[in-house]
Amino acid sequence: MRTKLIAGNWKMHKTVSEAVALIDALYAALPTIASDREVVVCPTFTALSAVAARPRGAIGIGAQNVYPESHGAYTGEISPAMLVDIGCRYVIIGHSERRALFSESDAFIAKKAAAVLAAGMTPIVCVGETKQERESGRAEAVVLGQVAGSLAGLQDRLADVVIAYEPVWAIGTGLTATAADAQTMHAAIRAELRRIGGAAAERVRIQYGGSVKADNVDELMAQPDIDGALVGGAALVAEGFARIANYR
């Protein structure tokens, strides 16, 4: 049994005081969490320590990015050890926004994943095809290529990695993959993970992301290879995110 992982990616939203208000409201809305799931929030870097310092029960903390070096002349970057220091346990890497806007390659993402694992945290490695790639019938090839490239060299650590399948055309658009289409891609990803790392693939959690909301989460989470959700917009409202975390 894989423990489901519901994570909120706050993206570039919330000042420190707004972020503190959101975690406080979320803790009030979600004082207990069922034992078959984990709930994590990923605020911006500026709000991370303030959010980590609030009472939050079992709600975990993740970052949205990291640089794969321990320290040094990397202006503007944050190291894995700095994230561990403030209580982070998860790091989102290779989000499609970073792949598109900051030209992050699979190879760079694999370096980040290795650095996150070496620091004792869990990388949430994002993959997903664009609308054009889906319409031209290349969705699966693109996604499986990203999975293999972003996990290069990590076959022995596979069980400690989380994958987030986020079709780019479903992010922030209100369009969601049907639960059946998402399941098909998740099963293909798991088959690729088996090819890479054998039996460890059964332990890898594969989240779905892209317009996850209260009214579609139950059906998505009922699929056999969907092991959680990476939630953007709907994670910015405490009651809505609590409802998602309380999926049936």
Residue 171 binding ligand 13P, by CB under 6 A: yes
C-alpha dihedral over 20, 26, 29, 35, to 10 degrees? -140
Site for ligand 13P contains 31 (CB under 6 A): no
Q: Across the strands, what pairs with 4?
A: 37
Under rule CB under 6 A, which residues in 65-124 are in contact with ligand 13P? 95
Select the residue whose beta carbon is closest to ligand 13P and give its number: 232
Q: For residues 166 and 225, which CB has a smaller minimum distance to ligand 13P in the complex? A: 166
What are the CA-CA distances from residue 210 to residues 2, 44, 174 (Å)? 21, 19, 8
Per CB under 6 A, the segment of 53-61, 101-109, 112-120, 226-234 that binds ligand 13P is 226-234
Enumerate residues 203-222 that contact ligand 13P by CB under 6 A.
209-212
Q: DSSP string of 144-200?
A: HHHHHHHTTT-GGGGGG-EEEE--GGGTTSS----HHHHHHHHHHHHHHHHHHHGGG
> Using the rule CB under 6 A, is 231 a contact of ligand 13P?
yes
Question: Is 160:201 a contact under the CB 8 Å cutoff?
Answer: no
Dihedral sign for Cα atoms in the order 179, 183, 186, 188:
negative
- Separation of alpha carbons 218 and 45, rounded Å: 31
Question: Measured between alpha carbons, how far is 196 from 23 in angstroms, rounded to an integer?
Answer: 38
Enzyme catalytic residues: 95, 166
The nearer residue to ligand 13P, 79 or 96, going by C-beta atoms, is 96
Name the one range near ligand 13P by CB under 6 A: 51-59, 184-192, 214-222, 231-239.
Answer: 231-239
Residue 233 in contact with ligand 13P, rule: CB under 6 A:
yes
Q: Which is nearer to ligand 13P, 45 or 200 (CB)?
A: 45
- Which residue, 94, 206, 208, 228, is CA-closest to 150? 94
60 near ligand 13P (CB under 6 A): no
Q: Which of 17, 172, 191, 239 binds ligand 13P (CB under 6 A)?
A: 172
In the complex, least distance from residue 156 CB atom to ligand 13P, rounded to whole angstroms? 27
Q: Which residues bind ligand 13P (CB under 6 A)?
A: 9, 95, 166, 171-172, 209-212, 230-234
